[in-house]
Homo-oligomer: A and B are copies of this chain.
């Protein structure tokens, strides 16, 4: 499939062609909203405008949800992650991952069909030590419609394990592998439509610590970035349909941390918390599927940064903004000399300003005017 040249949002298209008339009467509209598989054109249908209608009409496969407030949260809690390994000899770990295609609110009023690992985006962090062995079990819910699998970047083996782990609805598969090299690695679905599945939140991180471990820090967080490509929803009760064409153009509708529009801020699930004088480490995974992140902490700096999650290398010091390619990771640390609110951002800053890519860390403590004085 080749990349189409462009798509127009319905309202944009209509404004430009003059097909939008006062009162919302529409001509030639239906094709704009049909999925790629549908070519029929029922231009007589009086389609409601996106903004003004809340009538629950199912169109083009979009599922209708009577009460979106009851939809589950998929945003992973960034403060829930496993501790650093403390054992002294290689271990064998039993790990169970599942996927269940799940409607959730990407943002208030936008219902999206996620494909989260174990119900969360990013999927659970798996944290082991170089030389350990993983017994990995992967199960697809019998409610699913799509095939799924997992590619671990921490695995030597075809597809990073994806071929052996390909499952249909209701199936479970099992592989065993030894982690041979250290680093922070993404895992993600790798079926032929992998870009769509990753864009539906199907990615997570495995941290393979080097034998000597990582330097101690006071607090750790776990954050994943990814892009969402959807058509405008008919209304806030109807699933927003995946937009294959905008994905082909790499022009997402939303770019988010932990699967929710500005999810880790006061406007949604609340900010992260930290304390003055702590050193904070962030394990960051960029699912993509397509865009690099320019990861930056507004009001702070990366004291240490392991570029591309390469824990076998010495970290770089005092970087403001670090490139994290899609399908890669970064491990970064901050010091907190003053109380402040830090805004995590992709410094492709329109994504931060307009597309949902915010996460806040509130640092409590006492002002240090010698370092930062906002009323001198």
Contact = CB atoms under 8 A, between A and B. Distances in A.
Given A177-B372, A349-B194, A310 B317 contact: yes
Contacts of A160: 298-299
A375 to B, nearest CB: 7
A12 interface: yes
B254 A2 contact: yes
Interface stretch (A64-72, A150-158, A216-224): A150-158
Given A289-B350, A301-B153, A347-B326, A18 B3 contact: no
Given A158-B340, A294-B325, A320 B347 contact: no
A163 interface: yes
Contacts of A214: none
A271 interface: no
Nearest to A158: B340
A323 B325 contact: yes
A159 interface: yes
Given A2-B354, A328-B347, A157 B374 contact: yes
A243 B6 CA distance: 13
A9 B372 CA distance: 46
A32 interface: yes
A177 B373 CA distance: 6
How many chain copies? 3
A322 B292 CA distance: 11
Contacts of A290: 348-351
Interface in A202-258: 232, 243, 245-254
Contacts of A292: 292, 294, 323, 325
A276 to B, nearest CB: 10
Centre residue among A11, A12, A374 by max chain B CB count within 10 A: A374
B308 A321 contact: yes
Interface stretch (A77-85, A119-127, A181-189): A181-189
Contacts of A374: 157-158, 161, 163-164, 175
Given A298-B160, A323-B292, A355 B250 contact: no
A267 interface: no
Given A12-B245, A177-B373, A178-B370, A348 B159 contact: no
Contact of A312 (B7, B288, B308, B317): B317
Given A294-B326, A325-B347, A318 B183 contact: yes
B316 A313 contact: yes
B195 A354 contact: yes
A10 B342 CA distance: 41
A338 interface: yes
A180 interface: yes
B155 A354 contact: no
Centre residue among A27, A243, A316, A327 by max chain B CB count within 10 A: A327
A281 interface: no
28 contacts: A3-B252, A3-B253, A5-B8, A6-B12, A12-B245, A154-B301, A156-B337, A157-B340, A158-B341, A158-B374, A159-B298, A160-B299, A162-B298, A163-B374, A175-B373, A178-B371, A180-B337, A181-B303, A183-B301, A289-B350, A290-B349, A290-B350, A290-B351, A292-B323, A308-B321, A313-B316, A323-B325, A326-B348
Given A4-B12, A18-B31, 6 more contacts: A5-B246, A164-B374, A192-B353, A288-B349, A294-B327, A308-B316
| Nearest 3 Cβ contacts at the A-B interface | A327-B347, A18-B28, A164-B374
